Homo-oligomer: A and B are copies of this chain.
Amino acid sequence: MSDRDAAPALVSDLLGSCPLPFTGYDRVLLGHGSGGRLSGELISRLFLPALGNHVLNRLEDQGTCQLPGLSGARIAMTTDSFVVRPIFFPGGDIGKLAVHGTINDLAVGGATPLFLTAAFILEEGLALEDLRRIAMSMRAAADDAGVTLIAADTKVVDRGKGDQVFITTTGLGIVPEDRVLSIAAARPGDKVIVSGTIGDHGIAIMSVREGLEFETALESDTAALHGLSETMLAACDGIRLMRDPTRGGVSSALNETATGSRVGVSLVESALPLRPSVRAACEILGLDPLYVANEGKLIAVVAADDADHLLEVMKSHPLGRDAAIIGEVTGDHRGSVVMRSLAGGTRVVPLLAGEQLPRIC
């Protein structure tokens, strides 16, 4: 990639609807799946011009619409393919992740998840016992979350044309009438809260891949967040938006917020909740935890006056014990995220430029 590519105009990249030529490549790169800048280019320059409409163009984690015959409330739908490697990892597996990930994309939109579908793409040669374990894990995750799997599909591809198993889950939920969260709703002065320690999922996956061992086990944080989000929304009117910082990590979630709301976001490094083992692994692997995927965390942007109350509410929930206010929304440096570092300086936290952790979810 050329240097010209390194300084994108974020607003036009993410929100523009004019098809632009891709600069420097004409084929899909691994980085197009990163959740960072290349993903944004693919969306803004190819998918939105082809597929965009008033729902997709909002670039939320879920699409919400009126459903004929359903008065007041709206439906929310979200879909995600899961291609994580390895398919079993500390704290979870691809099936559990597929259920949680789709529930969470509904939860951060304020939707109550009700129904799931699951489509399996199996590689010829996959051990049926592995598939059974994955299916049982999905069942347990769905039951725990109170959602029902109502449709499924299986395809098989020849050996070497897939990779064991890919799972695509789609979720349907209901958003109450008076609830409007939007990536465009952050306002200068708002506080940014994260629900717990960051980077746990990505580091758990990478430590397996790299064969790292630590004194304390590194486990994925994969969890269904709709109980936490519902508790938060019931307790606090001032929540502007929520995101789940998966691929691309906290950086992508907040850069998308900065772009979507045309605001700046200022983080305080010392406020970021981080497990010592994750910090150590990040140092060994040369990773910045702001870019590492989470699968059981959410970020909330909330009116300043409500922030302390919301933080207390979150801390009282099992999935929010380590919640922390990590920064605020500003009227400066609109469209970007900056961080005051432990050393005292301030640096920009750009969208991930290439690919850091392929196939993390």
Residues of A within 8 A of B (CB): 22, 25-33, 39, 42-43, 46-47, 50-51, 53, 55-56, 62-65, 67-73, 75, 77-83, 114-115, 117-129, 131-132, 135-136, 138-139, 148-158, 160-163, 166, 168, 170, 172, 174, 358-359
9 closest cross-chain pairs (CB), A and B: A33-B156, A63-B150, A50-B135, A168-B168, A170-B170, A79-B117, A161-B163, A63-B151, A28-B126
Q: Is the interface of A mostly helix, strand, loop or mixed?
A: mixed
Please, how many angstroms separate the alpha-carbon atoms of A148 and B54 in the complex? 10
Given A75-B172, A168-B79, A168-B81, the answer on whether A32 and B119 have CB atoms closer than 8 Å is no
Contact of A150 among B32, B55, B73, B131 (CB under 8 A): B55
* Chain B proximity of A108: nearest CB distance (Å): 13
Known: A81-B120, A119-B168, A158-B358. A152 touches B28 (CB 8 A): no
Residues of B within 8 A of A174 (CB): 67-69
A127-B27, A157-B163 as given contacts; A69 in contact with B73, CB under 8 Å = yes
- Distance between A60 CB and nearest chain B CB, rounded to angstroms: 9
A156 in complex: contacting residue of B29, B62, B120, B125, CB < 8 Å: B29
Asked if B148 and A55 sit within 8 Å, CB to CB, the answer is yes
Please name all residues of chain B whose beta carbon is closer than 8 Å to the beta carbon of A75 when the two chains form the complex. 67, 115, 172
B80 touches A135 (CB 8 A): no
- What is the CA–CA distance of A163 and B163 in the complex, to the nearest angstrom? 10
Q: List 23 A-B contacts (CB under 8 A).
A: A28-B123, A28-B124, A32-B156, A33-B122, A42-B154, A47-B152, A50-B132, A51-B118, A51-B135, A51-B152, A56-B152, A62-B151, A67-B114, A69-B73, A77-B115, A79-B119, A79-B168, A81-B120, A119-B170, A158-B358, A160-B160, A162-B162, A166-B166
